[in-house]
Amino acid sequence: MLEGAPALVMAVDRRAQVRLEPRAQPPCLLRAPGIIADTAAFTVRGDGSLAWEDTPSGDTDQLPLVAQLLQTLVRQGLLNPSALPSFAATLLTQSFFQPTPRGDHEKLGLGSSAALTVALASALSELAGVRHEAHDSGWFAALVEAHRALQGGHGSGLDIAASLFGGLLDYRLRAQTSEPQVRELTLPDGIAASFVWTGRGASTHSFLHSFARWKTSAPAQWREIMQTLSAIAESGAEAAREHDSRRLLEAVSRYAEALRVLGAASKMTVFSAEHSEIAALAGSLGLAYKPCGAGGGDIGVAVSLNRKRLRQFEHAVGTAGYTVVALRIEDEGVKTQRRVA
């Protein structure tokens, strides 16, 4: 996500699920199968902060997510703790993990924490008797704030937007205020995409810190490369708005090359060895390819108007030892459903 420039964001068909069941009395319970080994117990204070009764073992990254989200919603006046009954929460994010040849699972870089933030916030509000609309700017801003706090104050909020709205979005931040702007689009006719897992994760948090250091140490170089990337991003967003498939593919190719320049100038690994190998396979078939998200690992996407060549590409990357991840655009954003016993 570039400062002041658009990003085309596509929601995909991997969902975080949150199940809330009211409890007759405290404490609240939190379960996250496959993530947290035990059940966490806590109570919600009047200011939205949490009092944990114990600290479960396992990957506890989701604990601060729950705490930060509740406090932000209460502080913004979007959730009244007194209207929230005690509850048992189950957080399910298995669809964001990919099996590995080692027999374990690695997280795909698909914005699982953002999806969980949106799902949990929507479920908590529903339980408290309030339903917020996706286009409510205050609701969207609160979700972005809560998620950004988990990333050390960094983060554009584009993955929150994808989780909230679904579909294809033109997303940008106002240059002076960092206020998000969202415009809903449709994917131009004929464009098909293939997503590839490199087998190695990438840290968005680390990338953002490295990016900030480069901006400070080489401001003129940073500005020149950002202007190039911004111009290409504007061209791609305009092509999407005008349903110009070929121009959009050209923008993807040009953007990928500009990312290589950024990586070389900043000494950041944007195109890892894996991405470079996959990009070469895509290029040999005339496909446009770029890393997704922070780059350096995780997932890349190849796009084309020729579905036959995309299938050839998928065969080639599979032979090279990479994993094609079956993803489709998901037009619907967050959904809530109340079950009556």
Please name the amino acid found at residue 305: L
Indicate whether 49 and 99 sit together in one domain: yes
Note the Cα 143 to chain centre separation in Å.
Answer: 13
Indicate whether 60 and 87 sit together in one domain: yes
Both tokens of 86, joined, read 């005690």
Please name the amino acid found at residue 1: M
Number of domains in the chain: 2
Angstrom distance (rounded) from CA 329 to CA 59:
29
Angstrom distance (rounded) from CA 298 to CA 159:
15
Indicate whether 235 and 156 sit together in one domain: no
**Considering only CA atoms, which of 109, 120, 166, 175 is closest in space to residue 143?**
120
pLDDT(10) > 80: yes
Indicate whether 191 and 226 sit together in one domain: yes
Indicate whether 83 and 227 sit together in one domain: no
pLDDT band, very low/low/confident/very high, at 123 (cuts 50, 70, 90): very high
Residue with tokens 């009395």: 25
Domain boundary among 162, 184, 206: 184
Indicate whether 136 and 255 sit together in one domain: no
Give the CATH number, domain containing residue 144: 3.30.230.10
Indicate whether 166 and 277 sit together in one domain: no
- The whole-number pLDDT of residue 294 equals 60
Indicate whether 236 and 196 sit together in one domain: yes
Q: pLDDT tens digits, residue range 77-118?
A: 999 999 999 999 999 999 998 877 777 778 888 999 999 999
From 108-117, 201-210, 260-269, 330-339, the region with the lowest mean pLDDT? 201-210
136 belongs to a structural domain: yes
Strand, coil or helix: 260: helix
% of residues, the chain, pLDDT over 70: 93
Give the CATH number, domain containing residue 241: 3.30.70.890
Indicate whether 147 and 67 sit together in one domain: yes
Decide: 278 and 289 in contact? Cβ < 8 Å: yes
157 belongs to a structural domain: yes
Tell me the average pLDDT across 114-123: 95
Q: Of 46-50, 69-73, 143-147, 327-331, where does the model show the most confidence? A: 327-331
Angstrom distance (rounded) from CA 23 to CA 29:
9
Q: What is the pTM of this model?
A: 0.90
Domain that holds residue 284: 187-325
Angstrom distance (rounded) from CA 228 to CA 238:
16
% of residues, the chain, pLDDT over 90: 65
Angle formed at CA 169 by CA 241 and CA 257, multiple of 5 degrees: 75
Indicate whether 219 and 137 sit together in one domain: no
340 belongs to a structural domain: no
pLDDT(130) > 70: yes
Average per-residue pLDDT for the chain: 89
Note the Cα 163 to chain centre separation in Å.
Answer: 8
Is the torsion defined by CA of 194, 155, 64, 50 positive or negative? Answer: negative
pLDDT(234) > 60: yes
